[in-house]
Structure 1
């Protein structure tokens, strides 16, 4: 019997959920915007039940919220949400990057170099969305090298939240080049296989966002004691 190749096709509801995610990340659909089943069914030329399934997928991923008798809305990210994601990324990625060091082989370094070279090309194009997608590829690749199934599972469950979080960052980097430079520094740290350097680079990469996006540390330092 000859071998046959099969293409695994996602269910239509998942394909539509993916398209809606991309529209949110591209800022074609905005935080807090109401999503009407009837309009989406017409846009995608599918049944309303398929749209409901797609919205349920996004709700599980916490990208939309369903409000009783009000409808479904794109979730808004609060400062608390952003702070929690930053804290989780620091905890998970710092540990995963360190665990990946002894498993980092020449082929893995070559793959990370390939991703950063793609980033370099996107710098010239000035495309933040593609840079953020490549950022996810870079970080996920290293996390998977950690060979810690539970860390990988937790990180995978956060993928959509992290990618949505990245939407907020374009205004805080001085340039596309600086975003690319941070990843070449992360790669150099991994190549060095120095645990302390890797840990520091990962923390700096994520805490830079904390400083710029939320101003958490600066705010804490300058916040006056309230008087009664």
Structure 2
């Protein structure tokens, strides 16, 4: 059996049932909806609707909920049901702590995958087209895909899986801010980081990424602070 290619890290296709158990497949569908902005923090998941839509049993859906609970995307509230998690400032700080480790190690590698670089170009172009059309939710989705590809430069399937879960959490954090205010400042930096990676200037890429992540974290934490006082 052949090993999965590095491009598996940034495929956006609907998950296939044949690759996993039915519960894992259902969890992958729901995780994808979180990552694409379709499930909002604090929203309740209705079992009857989802079992009918996904054509799975109630027990299978509950197992999918359990899996996503372990990933910190969902939470069960006693006598109330299952909800999409609302993340805290401490969650934001922890997400960015892990991102620095994963993405920092990725950009400093001297042997960047040309297939991944092509995928990065596509993600940047998709984000720029979406921004030009004022489709800021789509800009956020393209941005998450961009950073999933960055993580894939580590060459580890385990890191890819960890990053996918982390970015699903990050999408929940994104909802605390106006999407244009959040994403517009980072669009040119994504292209600049790509240019540095393409030219092999890894030290500069690492410095740019560190500044990028610091500023993004500050923006999001400021949005949380403002929400608490308003």
Counterpart of 1:52 (choices 62, 85, 88) is: 62
CA RMSD, Structure 1 to Structure 2 (Å)? 3.2
1:204 aligns with 2:214: no
Whether contact under 8 Å (2:32, 2:168) holds in the other structure is: no
Counterpart of 2:193 (choices 176, 179, 186) is: 186
Q: Secondary structure at the match of 2:18?
A: coil
Higher-RCO chain (CA-CA 8 Å, sequence separation at least 6): 2
**Superposition pairs of residues 25-174 of structure 1, within 5 angstroms:** 25=35, 29-99=39-109, 102-104=110-112, 107-147=115-155, 149=156, 153-169=158-174, 171=178, 173-174=180-181
Give TM-score, length-normalised by structure 2. 0.72
Q: Runs of 5+ in structure 1 lacking a partner?
A: 1-6, 217-228
Q: Runs of 5+ in structure 2 lacking a partner?
A: 1-15, 224-230
Give TM-score, length-normalised by structure 1. 0.73
Deviation at 1:98, TM superposition (A): 0.4
Q: Which residue of 2 aligns with 1:226?
A: none
Whether contact under 8 Å (2:69, 2:75) holds in the other structure is: yes
Greater C-alpha radius of gyration: 1
Relative to structure 1, the CA distance from residue 86 to residue 38 in structure 2 (aligned partners, 3 Å threshold; closer, same or farther) is same
Whether contact under 8 Å (1:63, 1:74) holds in the other structure is: yes
Q: Which residue of 1 aligns with 2:227?
A: none
Relative to structure 1, the CA distance from residue 208 to residue 74 in structure 2 (aligned partners, 3 Å threshold; closer, same or farther) is same
Relative to structure 1, the CA distance from residue 66 to residue 122 in structure 2 (aligned partners, 3 Å threshold; closer, same or farther) is same
Whether contact under 8 Å (1:186, 1:198) holds in the other structure is: yes
Deviation at 1:202, TM superposition (A): 0.7
